[in-house]
Structure 1
Amino acid sequence: VWLSAWIALSLLILAGLYMLGINDISNKKRGQIQRFSWLLFWPYLLGNYIAWHLWKKKVPAMVEIANGIWIGRSLNKKDEALIQKNKIKTIIDLAPEVNNVIPETVSYIYQPLLDLAIPDPIELQQICAIISVEKQQGNIYVHCKFGLSRSVLVGCAWLITQGFTKQQAWDAVSKAQTMRVDRPYMHIALELFEAHYRKH
């Protein structure tokens, strides 16, 4: 009984955070979910851990959407060679629900976004600003869990800040990441971001 109650409470709290638009459910440090978050959200986090391990070999680890800008999935120890090969200097982590390996040789920035949710345009603009600053130091890697939705949104948003229209950005990222998710909420998110960015 207590286990069922724990799971129910965990998922209820998670649903509340989604409703409130609170992105950080794990308080990650250098890519690692903190113990308190594991205790509180273990049903959700365990499900994501299993899903990631089942799917990680089915999706490309990293794709380049623009010169020096890479997007993709959460990485593990075996993927460190890709970071070196692609000369990544900064990793931007969008995924609060999975652990990832961060080599000591790269800068790490945690900017959590909830999966399957429309991000605030201001949050996207902040991440784009970080990309523009960090790009001066070298190549950037932006990742979510699978590299198919949140990192796609951020990649598109960054291209919009570089003068692309929403459709041009979507087409460019789709060409690089052919397995990307294509759902209405993503187009709504980019339309909202484009309108916000053009006004500011």
Structure 2
Amino acid sequence: MVESALTQNKYSLWKQGGCWLLLLGPLFFLSYGQVNQFTATRYDVGSRVFAWEHAIPFMPWTIVPYWSIDLLYGISLFICTSKQELTRHGCRLLASSLIACAGFLLFPLKFTFVRPETQDMFGWLFHQLELFDLPYNQAPSLHIILTWLLWLRFRQHLNRGARMVSGAWFLLIAASVLTTWQHHFVDVLSGFIVAVVISYAIPIEGQWRWKRPSPHALRLAAKYTLGGIIFLLAGVLIPGSYFLLWPAGALLMVSAGYVGLGTSLFQKNEHGHLSLSARLLLWPYLTGARLSKMWFSRHIPKTSAILDGVSLGCFPDKSLQQTAVLDLTAEFHHRTRVPGVWYAYPLMDLVVPDVQDIAQAVAKLTELRQGHLTVVVCCALGLSRSATVVAAWLLAQGHVSCVQEAIDLIKSQRPQVVLTPAHIHALEQFQGTLCQISL
């Protein structure tokens, strides 16, 4: 019965994959071709090429990996294992065509190198390419966008060895847009940026959530917005400082998290892993958070035992004595070199969690403690988010009778803990819900 249901589900996904292919295939060729033809009639078409690009060799054989993306495009629609994965992958591919064509129209560019004549099979492949392609439709490179999106899908369904082979092939596809003399470097760079933004905006797992922000969260958002604007102005006004647009974007994204997107901004799953797209886009902020944690944790114990096998601690980078981890950070990525059971319930940094978040984190801590002798509850420094949840757990388990008693117990083991009046108020509200349940 189960096997029959799985087979039926597989066929259903294949049918849906076929429908997506029937939609995306014609759309791609029609939109791409029409925009190419239209751009050929325009008089405002420029080019962007660096001097060093003239040293890029023309390598005819790389037309093979260049063409292979067409086959991989179709296959990618039939390897998805859930309706959600297929739907979001299809939406990504649809968005890639629409956004790329919009870029071609808004920023028309032309490839400037004259490709040498090529014979044999490689020459035939180049001839087939030239039948429908013109030296326009340059930035952002749709080939690069698709290379990224397809690689993400294939790597999800391959084992370690096959993933390495697949990664090497997709890297070759990416390089081929230069070695076949199809694109200039600016097309590749812009294509990669667009690709990462698309994969981030349409996540395969999870979903975007909005949560009403507190006044304190809005104040934090204002500070991050100010920082983002400063980097943005510096990147635009200072010659050669376009790289500053990266931290500008990252800070503005974090600001959006405090405005209402919350932890969904980081796309962190229950295993503690941030999506690759989120890690790339937010890398300046994430790096700053990690450096900050390293600096401020110099004189703080890595972990502090509280009671009954439960400990408080900083976000662990190495092995732990505890057998399970409850990770409350949103901004840190769990590396597999840390052994043990790992569960993440992300909470925003510097913001007091609400009663619902506290209750769910306590429920998970209780579950972990029942299955493991020792559990460490961690946030960046093990001072606020984790201390709040452990205090609530002490109340829920009846180890203490009031909030102040819980705080005193925690501070007796970890004096550096910082719980503001807002944290205490949230804990008192949580204790109130416990009293209602007991009644």
**Pairwise TM-score range, normalised by the shorter structure:** 0.7 to 0.9
Q: Is the 8 A contact 1:91 1:107 kept in 2?
A: yes
Q: Is 1:37 the counterpart of 2:278 in the alignment? A: yes
Q: Is 1:9 the equivalent of 2:249?
A: yes
Shift of 1:99: 3.4
Shift of 1:14: 1.4
How many correspondences in the alignment?
193
Indicate yes or no: 2:348 matched with 1:114: yes
1:130-141 alignment runs, 5 A limit? 130-138=364-372, 139-141=374-376
Q: CA deviation at 1:195?
A: 2.4
Letter in 1 for 2:428: E
Distance 1:26 1:125 in 2: 22
- Structure 2 match to 1:127: 361
Alignment deviations for residues 153-175 of structure 1 (CA, whole Å, 9 cap, x no partner): 11101011122211111111111
**How far does residue 112 in structure 1 lie from its aligned partner after superposition?**
0.5
Work out the CA distance in 1 between the residues paired with 2:370 and 2:260: 35
Q: Given the alignment of the two structures, is residue 98 of structure 1 paired with residue 339 of structure 2, yes or no?
A: no
| 2:388 partner letter | L
Match of 1:18 in 2: 258
Deviation at 1:189, TM superposition (A): 2.2
Deviations along 1:82-105, one digit per CA (max 9) or x if unpaired, are x23xxx221111112123445575
Q: Measure the CA separation in 2 of the matches of 1:193 and 1:17.
A: 24
**Shift, 1:3, TM fit:** 3.5
Please report the TM-score for the alignment, with normalisation by the length of structure 1: 0.85
Q: Does residue 151 of structure 1 match 2:391?
A: no
**1: CA distance between counterparts of 2:303 and 2:412?**
13
Contact 2:272 2:334 in 1 (8 A): yes
Q: Secondary structure at the match of 1:112?
A: strand
- For 1:131 and 1:151, locate their aligned partners in 2 and report how far apart those are by CA, in whole Å: 11
Contact persistence 2:330–2:349 (CA under 8 A): no
Tell me, in whole angstroms, the C-alpha distance in 1 between the residues paired with 2:292 and 2:405. Answer: 31
- Matched residue type, 2:298: K
Q: CA deviation at 1:6?
A: 3.5
Preserved CA contact (<8 Å) 1:102 1:108: no
1:178 is aligned, of 401, 411, 415, to 415
AA of the residue aligned to 1:13: M
Does the C-alpha gap of structure 1 residues 24 and 145 become closer, same or farther in structure 2, counting only changes over 3 Å? Answer: farther
- Relative to structure 1, the CA distance from residue 103 to residue 7 in structure 2 (aligned partners, 3 Å threshold; closer, same or farther) is closer
Please name the residue that 2:406 is paired with. Answer: 169
For the pair shown, the structure with the greater C-alpha radius of gyration is 2
Q: Secondary structure at the match of 1:49?
A: helix
Whose RCO is larger (CA < 8 A, sep 6+)? 1
- Partner AA of 1:63 in structure 2: S
Alpha-carbon RMSD across the aligned residues, in angstroms, is 2.1
Higher percent of residues as strand = 1
User: What TM-score comes out, normalization by structure 2 length?
Assistant: 0.41
Change (3 A) 1:156 1:11: same
Identity within the alignment, %: 28
Give the conservation status (yes or no) of the 8 Å contact 1:75–1:101. no
Partner of 2:217: none
Q: CA deviation at 1:36?
A: 1.2
**Preserved CA contact (<8 Å) 1:121 1:192:** yes
The 3-state SS of whatever aligns with 1:25 is helix
Give the drift of 1:177: 0.9
Shift of the 98–104 alpha-carbon distance from structure 1 to 2, 3 Å rule, reads: closer
Query: Which amino acid in the other structure matches residue 97 of structure 1?
Result: E
**CA positional deviation for 1:146:** 0.6
Stretches of structure 2 that go unaligned for 5 or more consecutive residues are 1-234, 236-241
Structure 1 equivalent of residue 37 of structure 2: none
1:197 corresponding residue in structure 2: 434
Q: Which runs of 5+ in 1 are unaligned?
A: none
Q: Check 1:172–1:102 CA distance in 2 against 1; reply closer, same or farther (3 A cut).
A: farther
Aligned amino acid, residue 34 of structure 1: S
Would you tell me which structure has more helix in proportion to its own residues? 2
Shifted more, 185-194 versus 98-107: the winner is 98-107
Identify if the C-alpha distance between structure 1 residues 124 and 182 changes in structure 2 by more than 3 Å, giving closer, same or farther. closer
Determine helix, strand or coil for the equivalent of 1:58: coil
